Structure 1
Amino acid sequence: MATPGIQIDRAAVHDAVVGAVAELLEELGSHRLPSEVKPAAHLERDLGLGSLERVELVTRLSFTFQVNLSDRVAAEAETVADLIAAVVAPLDHLSGPVTEILGPAPGAPGVAPDEHVWQQFETLTEALLYRARANPNRRHILLREDSGAVRHVTFGELYAGASAMARGLRARGLQPGDAVALMLPTSADFFTSFFGTLLAGGFAVPIYPPMRADRIEEYATRQSAILRSSEARFLITFRQAEAVARMLQPHVPSLKGVLSAARLAQTSNGGTTFEPHRARPSDIAFLQYTSGSTGEPKGVTLTHANLLANIRALVEAVDVTARDVCVTWLPLYHDMGLIGTWLTPLTMGIPTAVMSPLAFLTKPDRWLWAVHNHRGTVTAAPNFAFELCVRKVKDEEIEGLDLSSWRAVLNGAEPVNPRTLDRFAQRFARYGFHPEALLPVYGLAEATLAVTIPPLGRGPLVDRIDRATFESAGRAVPAAPDDPAALEFVSVGRPIPRHEIKIVDADGCALPERVEGNLWFRGPSATRGYYRNPEATCAIQKGDGWVDTGDRAYCAEGEIYITGRVKDIIIKAGRNIYPHEVEEIAASIEGVRRGCVVAFGVADEQAGTERFVIVAETREPRRSGTRAAAAIEASIIQQVAEAIGMPPDVVELVPAGSIPKTSSGKLRRSETRRLYLLGELRSGKPPAWLQMARLAAL
């Protein structure tokens, strides 16, 4: 019985239902005008809303009015008037002021239309809670499993799975502010474990699962260091990796337990009342450990505020809307995959089609077909992925492929090669790919993810500059159009909204345009530092909010051009040599494995400069010393000398798998240099069984 004196405002119900129908039509890209949404309008015949769309509409109305509308409403309601009547009926039996039933009036403080609600989120948990309540049946994760089947995970299912994980963690003693390491592959368990950790009050530490048996000792050493640095309380893993995970436990004093994701969810007490932890914007959401090549790993501290600031800026720069569909194969333990292609779609309430990195690497055409099948619009990948598609995808594998829906294709996380961009655009033009969709971008973990993005719809911008002037004086002078030796750098655009950058000299003084210097940035996405590592934090913080990226760059007409890492540049006889250019030249030679070449400098005290060294993995089954190897070495020396005007001092050919890489596939130049100086590049690795035995004996 309604409370005396309180009347249901039927006009308000009418307007809210009509508004919800119009909003859904807009999201679906319907040509129908809001004025066509009238009480008498037939949902299917007049408005084009089929059974699935009506289910979504009824779900939204149930959440908006806080009433339980039965499944029969979605099946039997024929007109907008039927929906209004279905909503009014239970409201007539409710007590309490109408504002408690309908919520604050539209436009009231703290309320925003659904398409703008992402701007109001203060924490990731708040974003998930909203999506699970507002859109519980909306498909969010379209997960390609190993069998090739696609598993759909709705927002409601994601929240339910995460809640089960959270209960299990709390039952085992997890306290607010505790770290939980996630050693999981691309799977539903990763998604539920990540948010389960946050809902329980902890923060996540994603680490990559073991991938190569021949490097298990190196893997264990690095992951133990990360677990000690983060003071991880629990490690969530999967059945195949439990043995390795348990070997790490004795080396991490803080670690209370190694937990299987599957068993953790099954053993949680689903019957108990669960109240999710209410995080604050300043709370740590997760630690992103850098790909550091030597020494102790550094955990970049990322708060909920950092993440949502970067996500908002990214959404604005790429103009992400409710109509977008993300497609990704990127590893979820890496910032571009975790933040760019999952947490951003989650915040926006849009679907993301996900496959494992291995699924892409073994058959790159799967990525392209996922775009086709899901009508993907937005994606991101490192430069090598585009090169792999050009070289490995065969015409017969992509017959009938349509890439015309792809509107924003971000290329970042490693140096962007202008020739790769050209090759990719030309190769897939006949399949509907638009070259202006390519967006070379720049970012780093210390900035959460993105720092610069170019304008949409323009396509890549390449700057050709005079080589001699740049390498000797650091000035980016435009080259003559017919200069065959010109250096080429790709613009990575301008700073994302609400962020700033500047190019400075060694003293921190701003440099003019077209002069190379150190790249600094500042903004709300900037990390507050490395977790429990004040010394490393001080090294990057430059005062007044500025953070040193460790990268070199120059600015031209407001656009940023990244030239390389400070520590990677080779200085030979007064000239700066840029490794990525040399590596591309050497990789083009027959017999050299593309993406498996490293160039670096080593001190030469007698000459008073650096020796210029190139290490390349060869396709030859035998190592240096054979006639075929000699021919490859000669070709590398000749082609590098012709291209940059300086031959390498040393060319070292090594077997496949010798050059170390990060978990995201980046070359570890510093580690390769260290192994070269120790003479260990050719020594090979002990068999996996011996490495496991050594670990067990520690």
Structure 2
Amino acid sequence: MVSPTPSKHALASRLADFATVPEAIEYASRGETGLNFYSGKGELTEALPYAQMYEQGVALARKMLAKGLTKGDRVAIIAESDGDFMRAFTACQFAGLVPAPLPLPAAFGGKDAYIEHIRRMMQGADASAVLSPASLADWVKAAADGLDMKAVGTLSVFDDVDGAGIELPTVGPDDLCYLQFSSGSTRFPLGVAVTQRALMANAYAITHHGLKITAADRCVSWLPLYHDMGLVGFLLTPLVCQVSIDYLPTREFARRPLLWLNLITRNGGTLSYSPSFGYELAARRAETASTEGIDLSTWRGAGIGGDMVRPRVLRKFAETFAPRGFSAGALVPSYGMAEASLALSFAPLGVGLVTDRVDLDRLEGDAVAVPPGPQTEREREFVLNGPVLPGHQIEVRDPDGKVLGEKQVGRLFARGPSLMRDYFNRPEETAAVLSADGWLDTGDLGYICDGQIVITGRAKDLILVNGRNIWPQDLEWSAEHSIDSLRSGDVVAFSVDGDGGEQVVVLVQCRPTQEEARAALAAQVQGVLRAAHGLEVKVVLVPTHSLPQTSSGKLSRTKARQMLLAGEFGANAMLSA
């Protein structure tokens, strides 16, 4: 019978104080902790102690080099949550190769679209090899067809390779650690190139300042390993702290979200993260499924990241699971992005959600976050995501580049040791976001409140109507919260060019098929947005499961807009509702 790796170990704890990931793996291999992989039935399918991961990774690294791969080559790896991905990733670290995790098919709507997308990623990485689980081997082979590859397939492609006597290269702090593809990249995927030095700087800041990790911690994750929050937050950071990790495949979480909480219960998990929608899924499932036996009293860091933090959703989760030992003070909003390795800020631990309530009309009209007053008609609540991590800087700037003061909304720029080296082989795209003096244009809009970062939205998604700056998530959340038949992720808002200027379009996933019910839903959405935001919108009803997502599970407003304009929701879509 397979047993999970322990949480505690006799090895002296070292918390992210290494120069490189290979150095950290070698140290972790001296202890008993490691990685544990669970099935959708909650069964432990494999335990991979760091000692085995190190031994197997070093052996595989020698075989990779014997196969003809050389230091600096990129290796694309389909990021399944299993031991083979970990062995391949580890081997790349010791061989001086650069792993480029690729997504699983779930978000791509079919075989052909998936094959085309990962082929573009392989080309973007200029990959010399691509590795996959057996279940996707044929698809990956098709994606790699015609590309100059030294190895294509499962790890079995190295079975007959003799790696004996192959000397491993020295890996230094300025060597690349991995390429992280931006989840929003579609037509021209951008590989975020992160050095060993930048990764270790971020892991150190997370460990010592953000989450204050200790030797007693244990991580639990269902996050995809091709996304920065999964790869850096719940593989590399715990690994460089010798912390054990329990994994549930992302697709299994979507089917059985309470299994996430059962894993935390079973092994005494202390740290686990999710975007807001994960907490919402779990709370919804608890309405119809038993939570008997769930004990969340050990969960000290319930992080939220990867998307806008939704306070209403998180309060509902905390209320639902308070009888099961969950503390609302465990909630930890945070902010970051792949271009900063992962994290830029964490809310203070043990405090829970802290929000800033502002006058929405002043925010939209004057780009200032002021408290509601007696004349305020519309309000909005934003979550504080904590101060910027030590050693890093955040500035809020206006369109002319002037640095703004507290409560003034502008574009966020970041600087610090965790930032990417560049977008791999994309100098123009790099120069567009990363200045010569090291400032990164995050593409996010927000402001500073009491020294903490507040995010109001993505600059590219901002809707400008009659001098108002309207955040699409405000429209989306209003509809979803006000109409019982709508769920989180059912609504996407954006603007299109109309005869009289910008026209706001709201796509709504519609379950009813009767024309009367459909018309009623469209009218209801229009009424809610008219009342809550004083805005006239065109509602377009679309089939369920038709709104596009990025590979990390976020709704893609840009892709949805493109699909609408291309007629992919039907020839009459722009005329309906």
TM-score range, shorter chain: over 0.9
Choose which of 515, 534, 541 in structure 1 pairs with 2:434. Answer: 541
TM-score (norm 1): 0.78
Tell me what 1:285 maps to: 177
What's the CA shift string for 1:270-305, capped at 9, x where partnerless? 7x2454332110101111111235531111110111
Choose which of 311, 314, 319 in structure 2 pairs with 1:421. Answer: 314
Choose which of 10, 19, 23 in structure 2 pairs with 1:126. Answer: 23
Tell me what 2:525 maps to: 636
Tell me what 1:223 maps to: 118
Tell me what 1:178 maps to: 73
The amino acid that maps onto 1:245 is: V
CA 1:673–1:126: 2 relative to 1, 3 Å? same
Partner Cα separation in structure 2 for residue 118 and residue 541 of structure 1: 26
User: Which has more helix, going by share of residues?
Assistant: 1
1:457 matched to 2:350? The reply is yes
CA 1:396–1:627: 2 relative to 1, 3 Å? closer
Tell me what 1:141 maps to: 35
Choose which of 511, 515, 526 in structure 2 pairs with 1:619. Answer: 511
SS at match of 1:327: strand
1:653 matched to 2:541? The reply is yes
Partner Cα separation in structure 2 for residue 457 and residue 485 of structure 1: 31
More deviation in 473-482 or 562-571?
473-482
1:299 matched to 2:191? The reply is yes
- 1:199-278 aligned within 5 A: 199-211=94-106, 214-252=109-147, 254-261=148-155, 263-264=156-157, 266-269=159-162, 272-273=164-165, 275-278=167-170
SS at match of 1:206: strand
Partner Cα separation in structure 2 for residue 453 and residue 213 of structure 1: 32
SS at match of 1:503: strand
SS at match of 1:162: helix
1:596 matched to 2:490? The reply is yes
Q: Is the 8 A contact 1:402 1:431 kept in 2?
A: yes
What's the CA shift string for 1:390-428, capped at 9, x where partnerless? 112246521132111111111011011111121111111
Q: Is the 8 A contact 2:103 2:226 kept in 1?
A: yes
Q: Is the 8 A contact 1:587 1:596 kept in 2?
A: yes
What's the CA shift string for 1:418-452, capped at 9, x where partnerless? 11121111111111111011011110111010011
Tell me what 2:574 maps to: none
1:438 matched to 2:438? The reply is no
Partner Cα separation in structure 1 for residue 523 and residue 553 of structure 2: 28
Choose which of 679, 682, 687 in structure 1 pairs with 2:567. Answer: 679
Q: Is the 8 A contact 1:553 1:563 kept in 2?
A: yes
Choose which of 546, 551, 554 in structure 2 pairs with 1:663. Answer: 551
Tell me what 1:79 maps to: none
Q: Is the 8 A contact 1:593 1:617 kept in 2?
A: no
Q: Is the 8 A contact 1:658 1:682 kept in 2?
A: no
SS at match of 2:405: coil
Report the CA distance between 1:154 and its aligned residue: 0.8
Tell me what 1:73 maps to: none
Report the CA distance between 1:482 and its aligned residue: 9.8
What's the CA shift string for 1:90-134, capped at 9, x where partnerless? xxxxxxxxxxxxxxxxxxxxxxxx334631x111011101111x2
Partner Cα separation in structure 2 for residue 286 and residue 265 of structure 1: 21
What's the CA shift string for 1:522-572, capped at 9, x where partnerless? 000011210000000010013421110000001122111100111101111
CA 1:616–1:654: 2 relative to 1, 3 Å? same
Once the two structures are aligned, what percentage of the paired residues are identical? 35
SS at match of 1:267: coil
- 1:200-599 aligned within 5 A: 200-211=95-106, 214-252=109-147, 254-261=148-155, 263-264=156-157, 266-269=159-162, 272-273=164-165, 275-316=167-208, 317-394=210-287, 396-480=289-373, 485-588=378-481, 589-599=483-493
SS at match of 1:459: coil
Which structure: larger Rg?
Answer: 1
Superposed CA RMSD: 2.1
* Structure with higher RCO (Cα < 8 A, 6+ apart): 2
Report the CA distance between 1:215 and its aligned residue: 2.5
What's the CA shift string for 1:451-505, capped at 9, x where partnerless? 1111111111111111111111101111138956201111111101211101011
Q: Is the 8 A contact 2:276 2:305 kept in 1?
A: yes
Partner Cα separation in structure 2 for residue 381 and residue 449 of structure 1: 14
Partner Cα separation in structure 1 for residue 307 and residue 298 of structure 2: 25
Partner Cα separation in structure 1 for residue 120 and residue 289 of structure 2: 46
Tell me what 2:13 maps to: 115
SS at match of 2:385: coil
Partner Cα separation in structure 2 for residue 481 and residue 407 of structure 1: 39
Partner Cα separation in structure 2 for residue 480 and residue 131 of structure 1: 55
The amino acid that maps onto 1:164 is: A
The amino acid that maps onto 2:378 is: A
Tell me what 1:189 maps to: 84
Partner Cα separation in structure 2 for residue 396 and residue 576 of structure 1: 41
Choose which of 61, 68, 72 in structure 2 pairs with 1:166. Answer: 61
Q: Is the 8 A contact 2:107 2:550 kept in 1?
A: no
Q: Is the 8 A contact 2:64 2:158 kept in 1?
A: no
CA 1:218–1:682: 2 relative to 1, 3 Å? farther
SS at match of 2:490: strand
Q: Is the 8 A contact 2:16 2:203 kept in 1?
A: no
Could you tell me which runs of 5 or more consecutive residues in structure 2 were left unpaired when the two chains were aligned: 572-577
Q: Is the 8 A contact 1:180 1:202 kept in 2?
A: yes
Q: Is the 8 A contact 1:302 1:448 kept in 2?
A: yes
The amino acid that maps onto 1:602 is: V
SS at match of 1:115: coil
What's the CA shift string for 1:173-199, capped at 9, x where partnerless? 111110000014111111101111221
More deviation in 547-556 or 479-488?
479-488
The amino acid that maps onto 1:187 is: D
1:154 matched to 2:49? The reply is yes
What's the CA shift string for 1:607-630, capped at 9, x where partnerless? 1x310000111222x3xx811111
Name the count of aligned residue pairs: 564
CA 1:541–1:376: 2 relative to 1, 3 Å? same
Partner Cα separation in structure 2 for residue 668 and residue 309 of structure 1: 31
CA 1:550–1:232: 2 relative to 1, 3 Å? same
Report the CA distance between 1:350 and its aligned residue: 1.0
Tell me what 2:575 maps to: none
